[in-house]
């Protein structure tokens, strides 16, 4: 995707040296487009933990490059297993991280140490390319949902509500939930997006709004609590969100607040779709509410807000009463019964075991 005419992916190898890894610092967006250079495993782990890089598919791809960087320093089997374990521990909820690291381990484990670095870069690049193509296909498979709504109300705007950031910044390219929206907009459909601000870290207000704005997609940022009201008043035709893990029964882990949107959608008869790549499926888990680990992040993300002052400085201010405690569960699980369906690179299906088995027979 493009920022002011320059094509970007969310992770790439620096062409001038052929080995260091570049990412956009997402903690600086939308105020500054700052490109970071990662040179070792510790830098990659820090970037993932601090959410300089984030989004389920993207942290998998960046971690894969983290393995390649780690092996440059030590390509022994012990080093390989150690870096995979450490990178895997950086964030607990998105299964894409473990999927990518398992894939790296499977590819590299039986190779001679001397062949591992080149093979690691090749495998990380394959993971990144796979994610970009997968997300492009998610867009193709989600587009008919928006086209059907447009056909039902000719000349009127198709209003989509999304939560968090599941655009190209959260993947290697194109995005998951936003991919059908970009394709619909590019095809000339009149799409407008309600963007949940997504407290506490404001991925909607900062990142989704940035992406949509750069692509010229009409959008409006709303407070997280506005969605139910908008749905009651017929102002949302469809919800599309991304996900960090989908169980074999179709339960969906995603950014905190997704569950409440799904409840409001159900009550108002608004279709609630979830977009995911194959790397987000966790067929080992059945009951998402009980079994998916939910990341607890720092209370300071709730008590404090960061933004830009009128004179251009980035400032962090406290918004919670002094002395009050804060808790920060970063994800929740939406039970499959609240999900209208799943949009994948292989097509759409019910959020259910038979639905997923029909699209991914090799995974059951």
Build a one-symbol-per-residue string for 294-333: x at contacts with ligand MRU by CB under 6 A, - elsewhere: ------------------------------------x---
Q: Check residue 176 for interaction with ligand MRU (CB under 6 A).
A: yes
State which of residues 179, 249, 254, 279 lies at the interface with ligand MRU (CB under 6 A).
Answer: 254
Hey, CA dihedral for 285, 289, 291, 294, is it positive or negative? Answer: positive
Least spacing, CB of residue 146 vs ligand MRU, in Å: 18
Binding mask 76-95 for ligand MRU (x = CB under 6 A): ------------------x-
Is residue 242 within 8 Å of 166, Cβ to Cβ? yes
Question: Is residue 171 close enough to count as binding ligand MRU by CB under 6 A?
Answer: yes
Considering only residues 194 through 213, tell me which ones interact with ligand MRU, judged by CB under 6 A: 203
Provide the sign of the torsion angle of the four alpha carbons 214, 216, 221, 227, taken in this order. Answer: negative
Instruction: Answer whether 71's CB lies under 8 Å from 120's CB.
Output: yes
> Can you name the residues that pair with 281 across neighbouring β-strands?
246
Indicate whether 54 belongs to the interface with ligand MRU (CB under 6 A).
yes
Per annotation, catalytic residue among 130, 237, 244, 282: 244
For the chain, the distance separating the N- and C-terminal CA atoms, rounded to the nearest angstrom, is 34
Q: Identify the burial level of 52 via C-beta atoms within 10 angstroms of its C-beta, where 0-12 means exposed, 13-18 middle and 19 or more buried.
A: buried
Say whether residue 242 binds ligand MRU (CB under 6 A).
yes
**Among 21, 29, 56, 333, contact with ligand MRU (rule: CB under 6 A):** 56
Vertex 108 angle, CA 102 and 113, to 5°: 145
Q: Is 267 a catalytic residue?
A: no
The two structure tokens encoding residue 15: 């062409």
Q: Is 166 in the site for ligand MRU (CB under 6 A)?
A: yes
Q: Which is nearer to ligand MRU, 141 or 171 (CB)?
A: 171
Cβ proximity of 2 and 167 under 8 Å: no
Sign of the four-CA dihedral 159, 163, 169, 175? negative
Instruction: Tell me the catalytic residues.
Output: 244
Which residues form the interface with ligand MRU (CB under 6 A)?
54-57, 94, 164, 166, 170-171, 176, 203, 242-244, 254-255, 330
């Amino acid at each position: 995707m493009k920022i002011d005419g320059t094509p970007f992916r969310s992770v790439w190898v620096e062409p001038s040296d052929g080995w260091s890894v570049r990412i956009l610092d997402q903690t600086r967006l939308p105020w500054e487009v700052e490109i970071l250079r990662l040179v070792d495993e510790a830098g990659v782990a820090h970037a993932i933990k601090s959410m300089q890089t984030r989004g389920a598919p993207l942290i998998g791809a960046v971690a894969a490059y983290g393995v390649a960087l780690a092996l440059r320093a030590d390509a022994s089997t012990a080093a390989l297993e150690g870096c995979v374990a450490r990178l895997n521990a950086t964030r607990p909820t998105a299964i894409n991280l473990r999927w990518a690291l398992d894939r790296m381990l499977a590819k590299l484990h039986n190779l001679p140490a001397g062949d591992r670095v080149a093979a690691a870069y090749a495998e990380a690049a394959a993971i990144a390319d796979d994610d970009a193509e997968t997300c492009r296909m998610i867009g193709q498979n989600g587009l008919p949902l928006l086209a059907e709504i447009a056909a039902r109300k000719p000349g009127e705007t198709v209003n989509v509500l999304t939560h968090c950031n599941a655009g190209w910044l959260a993947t290697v390219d194109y995005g998951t939930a936003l991919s059908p929206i970009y394709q619909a907009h590019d095809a000339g459909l009149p799409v407008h997006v309600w963007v949940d601000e997504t407290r506490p870290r404001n991925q909607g207000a900062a990142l989704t709004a940035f992406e949509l704005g750069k692509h010229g997609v009409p959008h409006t940022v709303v407070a997280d609590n506005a969605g139910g009201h908008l749905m009651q008043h017929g102002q949302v035709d469809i919800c599309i969100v991304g996900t960090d893990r989908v169980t074999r029964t179709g339960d969906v882990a995603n950014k905190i607040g997704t569950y409440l949107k799904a409840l409001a959608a159900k009550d108002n008869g608004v279709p609630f779709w979830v977009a995911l790549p194959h790397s987000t499926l966790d067929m080992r888990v059945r009951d998402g509410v009980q079994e998916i680990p939910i990341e607890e992040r720092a209370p300071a993300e709730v008590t404090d807000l960061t933004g830009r002052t009128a004179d251009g400085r980035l400032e962090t201010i406290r918004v919670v009463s002094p002395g009050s405690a804060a808790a920060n569960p970063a994800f929740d699980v939406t039970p499959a019964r609240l999900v209208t369906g799943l949009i994948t690179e292989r097509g759409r299906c019910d959020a259910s075991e038979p639905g997923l088995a029909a699209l991914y027979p090799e995974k059951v």
